[in-house]
């Protein structure tokens, strides 16, 4: 990966890449284990599909664009399995298709994962039936690299468009939407870092983001690595901080945005949008076009991932609730379009947010 030429000091220079393919088509996938951050930098070496799926499910790689990129490389890993097993062309293709479905369903909410897998499979289907497994691996690697490189460019564009609409004053963000979550400098976090690199100065508040602390462990770490000051707050402090006048805008990422502009994102995002409206603070979402799912009419149709109750009851291995208590752990919620001032995409900012303006920006039928 190269760094963004418009911005010589990108997160890519200082924050290790979330996902890397090492070598050529006979190489392997390397995933930075984000569950170990910020304490240690450890890589998961993926030479088989179960390892890729485990890394996605356990959030070793996470963030909608990054899991899409991992899914693209995951198909190359599947093709490598076929090569190692000496499969004939038709068996190799069937193996890749079966593994592709497993990868695409590893996490249900972020549409980027299925989007990337489908994109690579589309290419596969255009190749002759007699194409050997080695050649399938080669083609899939080229496509995964293209998805990865495109995302880097989309992040840079989102950063520029978002920086232009963020008002002066403090900014609050949620979860992690930076280099760790994408192939480039991020989405929502890129708008913040781009504004900072343009010389603007403001307070940045990062919600710690219970239960897995992506804000505290990852966003605060990324910003600190870049030399940008950040204040971590517990999620429940957001209302107080907004009321005190220290926040002029809220910007978050998204895992899936439907045709009407409703946006699924990390649990707690919807509450922030309600709070922002109550305090007259503009609420922005930043996401590439690969995060839009125009096949869904509204956010009511988005599948919400329910994760293990132990993530709530035993955060970081510390018993925080009686073992016998039940715990609900929805990983995402949906913010209705009416609460979103603008959606920052690589093409520009959708504002106001409606079925018509979403279709207009993405070049589709409303
Ligand atoms: O469960 P996670 O950590 O994968 O959730 C990530 C988020 O909700 C992000 O805000 C979203 O994927 C956008 S990342 C650019």
Q: Is the CB of 253 under 6 A from ligand 1?
A: yes
Give domain limits for the chain.
Answer: 11-153, 158-363
Alpha carbons 70 and 281: distance in angstroms, whole number: 35
8 A C-beta contact, residue 116 and residue 102:
no
**Residue of 32, 265, 333, 334 to mutate, ligand 1, most atoms within 8 A of C-beta:** 265
Q: Whose C-alpha lies nearest to ligand 1, atom 10?
A: 253
Backbone phi, psi, residue 201, to 5°: -130, 135
pTM beyond 0.85? yes
Sheet of 43-46: strands edge to edge? 19-22, 28-32, 43-46
Distance 145 CA to ligand 1 centre (A): 21
Q: Which of 255, 262, 293, 333 is catalytic?
A: 255
Q: Is the CB of 175 under 6 A from ligand 1?
A: yes
Three-state DSSP state, 90: helix
Question: How do residues 141-187 score in pLDDT, each as one tens digit?
Answer: 999 999 999 999 999 999 999 999 999 999 999 999 999 999 999 99
Q: Is the CB of 291 under 6 A from ligand 1?
A: no
Alpha carbons 1 and 193: distance in angstroms, whole number: 19
Q: Is the CB of 65 under 6 A from ligand 1?
A: yes
Distance 253 CA to ligand 1 centre (A): 7
Q: Is the CB of 187 under 6 A from ligand 1?
A: yes
Given the CA of residue 182, which atom of ligand 1 is nearest to it?
A: 15
Question: How do residues 316-329 score in pLDDT, each as one tens digit?
Answer: 899 999 999 999 99
Instruction: Give the architecture-level CATH label for domain 158-363.
Output: 3-Layer(aba) Sandwich (3.40)
Which among 59, 314, 302 is positioned nearest to 211, based on CA atoms? 314
Instruction: Give the architecture-level CATH label for domain 11-153.
Output: Up-down Bundle (1.20)
Distance 291 CA to ligand 1 centre (A): 11
**Residue of 110, 190, 291 to mutate, ligand 1, most atoms within 8 A of C-beta:** 110
8 A C-beta contact, residue 267 and residue 208:
no
Q: Is the CB of 191 under 6 A from ligand 1?
A: no
Angle, nearest 10°, between helix axes 133-165 and 64-84?
A: 170
Distance 177 CA to ligand 1 centre (A): 6
Residue with tokens 């890589």: 43
Q: Which two tokens stand for residue 24?
A: 């050529």
Provide the H-helix boundaries in the chain.
11-14, 49-57, 64-84, 89-104, 111-125, 133-165, 188-197, 220-225, 238-243, 269-278, 310-313, 355-362
8 A C-beta contact, residue 29 and residue 76:
yes
8 A C-beta contact, residue 342 and residue 333:
no
CB-CB neighbours of 270 under 10 Å: 19
Q: Is 335 exposed, middle or buried (0-12, 13-18, 19+ CB in 10 A)?
A: buried
Q: Is the CB of 148 under 6 A from ligand 1?
A: no
Q: Is the CB of 331 under 6 A from ligand 1?
A: yes
Question: How do residues 273-312 score in pLDDT, each as one tens digit?
Answer: 999 999 999 999 999 999 999 999 999 999 999 999 999 9
Three-state DSSP state, 262: coil
Which among 358, 362, 359, 357 is positioned nearest to 347, based on CA atoms? 362
DSSP 8-state code for residue 306: B
Question: Quick check: is 255 catalytic?
Answer: yes
Q: Digits of tens for pLDDT over the chain (366 positions)?
A: 333 333 444 554 678 899 999 999 999 999 999 999 999 999 999 999 999 999 999 999 999 999 999 999 999 999 999 999 999 999 999 999 999 999 999 999 999 999 999 999 999 999 999 999 999 999 999 999 999 999 999 999 999 999 999 999 999 999 999 999 999 999 999 999 999 999 999 999 999 999 999 999 999 999 999 999 999 999 999 999 999 999 999 999 999 999 999 999 999 999 999 999 999 999 999 999 999 999 999 999 999 999 999 999 999 899 999 999 999 999 999 999 999 999 999 999 999 999 999 999 998 766
8 A C-beta contact, residue 358 and residue 352:
no
Distance 91 CA to ligand 1 centre (A): 35
């Amino acid at each position: 990966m190269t760094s963004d030429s418009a911005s010589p000091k990108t997160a890519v220079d200082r924050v290790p890449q979330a996902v890397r393919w090492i070598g050529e088509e006979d190489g392997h996938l390397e995933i930075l284990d984000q569950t170990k951050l910020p304490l240690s930098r450890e890589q998961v070496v993926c030479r088989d599909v179960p390892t890729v799926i485990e890394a996605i499910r356990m959030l070793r790689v996470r963030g909608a664009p990054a899991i899409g990129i991992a899914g693209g490389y995951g198909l190359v890993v599947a093709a490598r399995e076929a090569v190692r097993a000496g499969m004939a062309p038709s068996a190799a293709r069937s193996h890749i298709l079966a593994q592709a479905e497993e990868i695409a369903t590893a996490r249900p909410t972020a549409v980027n994962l299925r989007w990337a897998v489908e994109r690579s499979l589309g290419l596969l289907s255009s190749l002759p039936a007699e194409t050997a497994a080695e050649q399938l691996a080669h083609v899939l690697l080229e496509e995964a690299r293209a998805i990865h490189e495109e995302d880097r460019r989309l992040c840079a564009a989102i950063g520029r468009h978002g920086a232009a609409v963020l008002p002066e004053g403090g900014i609050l963000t949620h979860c992690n939407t930076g280099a760790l979550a994408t192939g480039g400098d991020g989405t929502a976090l890129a708008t913040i870092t781009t504004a900072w690199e343009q010389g603007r100065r403001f307070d940045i508040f990062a919600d710690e983001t219970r239960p897995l602390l992506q804000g505290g462990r990852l966003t605060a770490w990324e910003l600190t690595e870049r030399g940008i000051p950040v204040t971590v707050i517990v999620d429940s402090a957001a209302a107080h901080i907004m009321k005190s006048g220290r926040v002029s805008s809220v910007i978050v990422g998204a895992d899936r945005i439907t045709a009407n502009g409703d946006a699924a994102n990390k649990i707690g995002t919807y509450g922030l949008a309600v709070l922002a409206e109550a305090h007259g603070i503009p609420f922005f979402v930043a996401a590439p076009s690969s995060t839009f799912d125009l096949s869904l009419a509204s956010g009511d149709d988005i599948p919400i991932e329910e994760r293990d109750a132990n993530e709530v009851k035993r955060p970081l291995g510390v018993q925080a609730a009686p073992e016998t208590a039940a715990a609900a752990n929805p990983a995402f919620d949906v913010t209705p379009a009416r609460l979103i001032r603008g959606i920052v995409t690589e093409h520009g900012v959708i504002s106001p947010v409606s079925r018509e303006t979403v279709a207009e920006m993405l070049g589709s039928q409303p």
